Structure 1
Amino acid sequence: MLPLSQFQDFIKKNELFTSGNKILLAVSGGKDSVLMMHLFKALGVNIGVAHCNFGLRLDEAQRDENFVRLLADAHDLPFYVTHFETKKYAAENKISTQMVARILRYAWFEEIRLANGYDYIALAQHQNDAIETVLINLIRGTGISGLHGILPKRDRLIRPLLFLNREQINDIIEEDNIAFVEDSSNLSTNYTRNKLRLQVIPHLQEINPNLEKTFAENIARFTALENFLDLQVVQLRTEILIRKSDGWYLSLTEIVKLNPQKFLLYELLKPFHFTAPVVEEILNSLGAVSGTHFFSLSHQAIINRTDLVIVEKNASMLLNQFIHPSAAKTNFGDYTISLRYSTEIKFEIDAAKAFVSADKLIFPLVLRKWQNGDKFIPLGMRFPKKVSDFFIDEKVPLHLKHNTPILVNGNGEIIWIAGMRQDNRYKLSTATKKVAIFELENN
């Protein structure tokens, strides 16, 4: 008999979906997914069936596709199918067949969900799958999140069979005489998951006959612990990771006080995609000179005197921009430089503006970031000064040094360190006939 009451209780307890939702079922044709389809059908839920043919088992794969198609037709359900060149994709991208199959199927399920108005995608993973996932994560290395294995619900994916184990599913299939197809690859030990299923877990069950129940209880504890820690990290991040206009600031003093230090710093920096080895490198470099850089895929962290400053990596990868006489606005990273002209010879004391004798400009001008060796004559001074020394005097953080727009004349002379100081050679004088007015704006 179908375990409808347990099925309903599990859905309700985990808030998997509501009665008005439309659910897309991932059905391979095996026992698990076929049972899932029968349970949804018995509840009267609005469902559709999706099947992936990975082309890995030739005639058997086609048999599975035909079976699922007939099953959907017999129950008058919408049926969606796709074919993948899995081995070709794996070879081209140099990743495992299993990983490719996972990537392709989840991407396709989401396409079908969006295109046909489904609210969730249901996967037929059960308690034994959850055990295997935890063991795989432990073998490969994992944090706390890897210890909860498979969650009943994550984003648009739901797993409504996690209240059952493999033996229970087999009994239900046999008792109700439910037709299914067997995937011969499940008996192959070429795959890590199958090795655990066929060669490792049976020995663990000899030690603990209630292995599924024990793991389910452990997974529940790990999930609760992860939720608790997430709340603590969110609170800590709010308290000590300060958002400013030019990036995120984390006091080095606060980093030193963290306990456990490596774990908490890793969690604090997780939204910026820093890996555990990079976090360890940061901790080993807290006494390093100002300007030491660390990188993730999306961000860079910079030790700047008393803080670790995190900025988007792309912010420091700025291309030179050319300014022509008619250019009204020019974008440079997070800034825009506007240009206008006036015959009224006057200026304002405003760091965001530069008032330049237009007759001294040699176009095209160049807008670029600071380079080693740059020099200029700060307004009001007579002798050149290194831009790097000027930045130090002005206490400009290193990440801002690299992102500050430098306006350069056609002859190579610096006209303006935008937003900070104009060059004395380009100030207005009694000989000025026309004023070029540059203005810096934040995007």
Structure 2
Amino acid sequence: MHTTFKKNIEANFPFLSEKKLLIACSGGLDSVVLTYLMKELNYEIALAHCNFSLRGKESDGDEMFVIGLAKNLEIPVFAETFDTKKFAKEHKISTQMAARELRYNWFSEILKDFKYDFLLTAHHLDDDLETFFINLSRGTGLNGLTGIPKENNKIIRPLLKFSREEILKYAEENNLKWREDSSNQKTDYLRNTLRLEVLPKFKKVNDSVLKNFQKTQQNLKASQNLIEDYLALVYNLVVTEAADSYKINIQKIKDLPHTEALLYELLNSFGFTEWDDVSQLLDAQTGKKVFSKTHQLLKNRDELILTEISKENFSEEFSVPKEGVVFPINLKIESAEYIGETEKNLIYVASEKLNFPLKLRKWERGDSFHPFGMKGKKKLSKFFKDEKIPLTEKEKIWLLLSDEKIVWVIGHRMDDRFKVTKDSKKILKITWND
């Protein structure tokens, strides 16, 4: 595995050379093996260990083990003890979410304060397979099936292509010692159930499941990249942008295969539903129009011209009562006991910071908000640019407001001013069912 790992680093992470690297080390098998492999390759590394105080003496034993490991390898070590249950209670979040927040906030502080360049975690191929099934069970698109990214900003996962079996074999061959986390044997969480009960049986049925899964993910990622790249090419080829409209060249899009499918991809974000009428515009007489609730599509000679319906003809603002709305989008508002795992389609807010009825409208130029997790105000136009949201996607973005303040750029980011704090008396969960 040493040779294969070295080749993997050189091929996929050449930028790690000469960098200061921080390894998240629990003391378990995976992070211990990652530590030894990086040390053998002579990288400048340090260990960071979180003691979440959740397993009493066992947690303290893990901490002492990691400190001892660092001493034996003559590398720096950072260790921090957290009162995770207290933090979870104060912030009204689950213990699992509290541990995650504490962990990554602390890692970020170390990277910044001690000038480390990257954080390495020991996620491996079996973790990736578990994540695939978790996302599959929750319902997801192509993006949710492409798995854990091998790199995400400052976080690098160099073991992602290796199975737990390969990692264990390397540890045993090199007589390495590690700690076993007893909580990993409990089936309280979906991931543990998959790891302990479901996937072992799956692997018995098909002993090539990991190899096949790896190939499938490569295909999924390739397909996703291909679709995105192709649509970008099509957009540049057939669409012309003006100040207040988009113009689609009819002949150019008809010359391409799967014309109707391309037309759908280009226009589906603008609220059109009568797709037969839309496609018939390609051969209709000049002056023919099709409407959505927000836009009109006009046939004008050799072009389809997309424009927003004027404010005189279209009411852009909708009232949102305490239970939510089903039109123009489906928003459900309900009480929550604590903060769960946030996703793009749901947020948790402090109830006392909202004044009902809320308002729902499309974004407008000049709008600004305070992005969650950031200090200060940011214009939406700048936020969309930084998030690399294409022009066609911007048109379908809705804002949820309270007293003219943006609560949520729906599907993208909530406003930091409405977040739940330890002083919040009541939590509201807002879900967008797209």
How does the TM-score come out when normalised to structure 1? 0.58
Using a 3 Å threshold, how does the CA distance of structure 1 residues 150 and 291 change in structure 2: closer, same or farther? closer
Share of identical aligned residues, percent?
37
Task: Tell me the equivalent position of 1:147.
Answer: 145
Deviation sequence 1:141-196 (CA, Å, 0-9, x none): 22212222123223222111123211222222222221211111110100111110
DSSP-derived class of the 1:17 partner: helix
Alpha-carbon spacing, 1:291–1:164, altered in 2? closer, same or farther (3 Å): closer
RMSD, aligned CA: 3.6
**Greater Cα radius of gyration, structure 1 or 2:** 1
Residues 27-106 of structure 1 aligned to structure 2 (within 5 Å): 27-91=25-89, 95-106=93-104
Per the TM alignment, residue 249 of structure 1 is displaced from its structure 2 partner at its CA by 4.6
Structure-to-structure mapping, 1:186-265, within 5 angstroms: 186-239=184-237, 249=246, 259=261
Aligned to 1:184: 182
User: Shift of residue 103 of structure 1?
Assistant: 3.7
Residue 124 of structure 1 and its aligned partner are, at CA, apart by 0.4
1:95-134 equivalences under 5 Å are 95-134=93-132
With over 3 angstroms needed to count, the CA separation of the structure-2 counterparts of 1:228 and 1:171, relative to structure 1, is same
Post-superposition shift, 1:211?
A: 1.5
Give the one of 268, 272, 276 matched to 1:283: 272
Question: Which region of structure 1 is more displaced relative to structure 2, 89-98 or 152-161?
Answer: 89-98
SS in 1 for 2:261: coil
3-state secondary structure, aligned to 1:143: coil
Partner Cα distance (2:12, 2:223) in 1: 17
Describe the shift of the 1:230–1:117 C-alpha distance in structure 2 as closer, same or farther (beyond 3 A): farther
Q: Which residue of 2 aligns with 1:165?
A: 163
Q: The residue matched to 2:15 in structure 1 has which SS?
A: coil
Unaligned runs of 5+ in 1: 270-278, 294-301, 319-332, 335-443
Q: Which residue identity lines up with residue 26 of structure 1 in the other structure?
A: A
Q: What is the CA–CA distance in structure 1 between the aligned matches of 2:262 and 2:178, rounded to whole Å? A: 51
1:323 is matched with none
Report Cα offsets for 1:249-272 as digits up to 9, x if no partner: 576998x96516666667xx6xxx
Q: Secondary structure at the match of 2:161?
A: coil
8 Å Cα contact 1:25-1:121 kept in structure 2: yes
Query: Equivalents in 1 of 2:193, 2:103: separation in Å?
Result: 23
Return the letter of the residue paired with 2:272.
L
**Partner of residue 313 from structure 1, selected from 337, 357, 363:** 363
String of CA shifts for 1:65-99, please: whole Å, max 9, x gaps: 22212212222222223344434444555554334
| Structure having greater relative contact order (Cα 8 Å, sep ≥ 6) | 2
Query: SS state of the match for residue 182, structure 1?
Result: coil
Partner SS for 2:176: coil
Q: Is the 8 A contact 2:239 2:249 kept in 1?
A: no
2:26–2:62 contact (8 Å) kept in structure 1: yes
The answer to whether 1:10 aligns with 2:12 is no
1:262–1:133 CA distance, 2 compared to 1 (3 A): farther
- Cα distance in 2 for partners of 1:241, 1:83 equals 56
Contact (CA 8 Å) 2:25, 2:48: kept in 1 or not?
yes
**1:153/1:188 Cα in 2 relative to 1: closer, same or farther (>3 Å)?**
same
Distance 1:264 1:197, change over 3 A: farther
Report the Cα distance in structure 2 between the residues aligned to 1:92 and 1:240, rounded to whole angstroms.
Answer: 54
Q: Is the 8 A contact 2:20 2:118 kept in 1?
A: yes
How many residue pairs match? The answer is: 296
Contact 1:249-1:309 within 8 A present in 2 as well = no
Normalising by structure 2, we get a TM-score of 0.59
Matched letter for residue 283 of structure 1: F
- Aligned equivalents of 1:192 and 1:184: distance in 2? 16
